[in-house]
Amino acid sequence: MHSYFVPSSNLNPIGATYHLNAAQLTVSQRQDTKGALIEAIGEVDLTTAPQLREALMTAITSAEKSPVIVDLSRVDFIDSAGLALLVEARKKLAPEGRVLNVLLTPSRQPERVLKLGRFDTIMTLAYSLNDL
């Protein structure tokens, strides 16, 4: 479900009440043999990106200094806030020579957006942990 406003009244658009259908995101984090794995389920947008950012920054600043893997394979939607967060994470990892890997599901919106934006030129896009 994407975030959008729905007018509750079509009679008076100026005085209409709007309700926000907020996106939902579940984020979990664990260490995998391939690196710090952050799993996201739901939608990544302006309202939910801070949840993902918290987990990402924890992985980036950890003493382990392993690659970071963001699993977006169960994310239905990502907007510019989510894309900016991935770029920020990549910039923080690069000086240490660490890699940002993103797991995707073929033909879903996040894959299309990341490929269209050429994110594969600055981070690894894969379809399973075995591909890394």
User: pLDDT by residue (tens digit) across 5-49?
Assistant: 444 444 555 555 555 567 899 999 999 999 999 999 999 999 999
- State residue 14's pLDDT score: 57
- State residue 93's pLDDT score: 96
Pick 7 or 129 by higher pLDDT.
129
- State residue 24's pLDDT score: 93
Give the residue among 78, 69, 74, 68 at the shortest CA–CA distance from 114.
Answer: 78
Summarize pLDDT for 47-102 with one digit per residue, the tens.
999 999 999 999 999 878 899 999 999 999 999 999 999 999 999 999 999 999 99
C-alpha angle with apex 127: 124 to 131, nearest 5 degrees?
70
CB 104 within 8 A of CB 123: no
Query: Both tokens of residue 88?
Result: 């920020």
